[in-house]
């Protein structure tokens, strides 16, 4: 009686491993780019939503409302990579006092390869302030999100107008605003 062997030969295994390694080496960088692009789009959407929320709250409360980075949920700081807070600033001192309503805290969502910059008329600013009519307090500016992943730069930017309107800038404009991390 003859024995019948079934299975892979060494040649079959080598061919399979070669094809698999080619697929992995070409596919992983592509997937990395897709994931980085998704992260940049997601961060943009979160920031844009937070800006719109701040504007709506200023109109709803008929008071000045600030969006700013913070480390203690009281003081506004200039490092936009920290957690972000939205609060009613009824006395215009840019500090959240005990009697001022804290509307929202956005936890720090940024890693070492990400950064946010808020530039108003060519200078850094510690906050974005909305007035009761939904306009900013003479703040034309750009909020730029930068991500460096795999040696490539992914950037998104929100352009703010004095009227309170926000819109997305082109990716080219955003990339030009990002400096190396």
Can you give the pTM of this predicted structure?
0.82
Q: What is the pLDDT of residue 109?
A: 66
pLDDT of residue 122: 53
pLDDT at 69: 94
The region, left, alpha or beta by phi > 0 then psi within -120 to 50, assigned to residue 98 is alpha
Nearest CA to 66 out of 47, 43, 84, 48 is that of: 84
pLDDT of residue 49: 95
Distance CA 145, CA 106 (A): 15
What are the structural domain ranges in the chain? 10-177
DSSP letters, 67-100, are EEEESSSSB--S-TTSEEEEEE-TTSSSB--TTS
- Return the DSSP state at 134: S
Cα–Cα distances in angstroms (integers) from residue 161 to residues 44, 115, 128, 170, in the given order? 17, 22, 11, 16
pLDDT score of 181: 45
Per-residue pLDDT at 3: 76
Fold of 10-177: minor pseudopilin epsh fold (3.55.40)
pLDDT average per 10 residues of sequence, the chain (181 residues): 75 88 81 89 94 96 95 92 94 92 86 86 78 90 89 91 92 76 45
What is the per-residue pLDDT for 179?
60
């Amino acid at each position: 009686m003859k024995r019948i062997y079934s299975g892979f030969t060494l040649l079959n295994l080598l061919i399979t491993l070669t094809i698999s390694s080619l697929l992995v080496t070409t596919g992983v960088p592509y997937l990395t780019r897709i994931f980085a692009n998704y992260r940049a789009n997601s961060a943009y959407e979160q920031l844009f939503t937070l800006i719109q929320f701040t504007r709506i709250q200023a109109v709803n409360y008929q008071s000045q409302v600030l969006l700013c980075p913070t480390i203690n949920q009281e003081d506004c700081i200039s490092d936009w990579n920290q957690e972000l807070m939205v609060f009613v600033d009824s006395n215009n001192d840019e500090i959240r006092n005990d009697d001022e309503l804290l509307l929202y805290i956005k936890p720090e969502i940024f890693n070492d390869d990400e950064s946010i910059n808020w530039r108003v008329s060519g200078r850094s600013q510690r906050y974005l302030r909305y007035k009761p009519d939904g306009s900013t307090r003479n703040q034309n500016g750009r909020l730029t999100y930068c991500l460096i992943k795999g040696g490539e730069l992914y950037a998104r930017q929100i352009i703010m107008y004095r009227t309170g309107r926000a819109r997305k800038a082109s990716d080219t404009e955003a990339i030009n605003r990002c400096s190396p991390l």
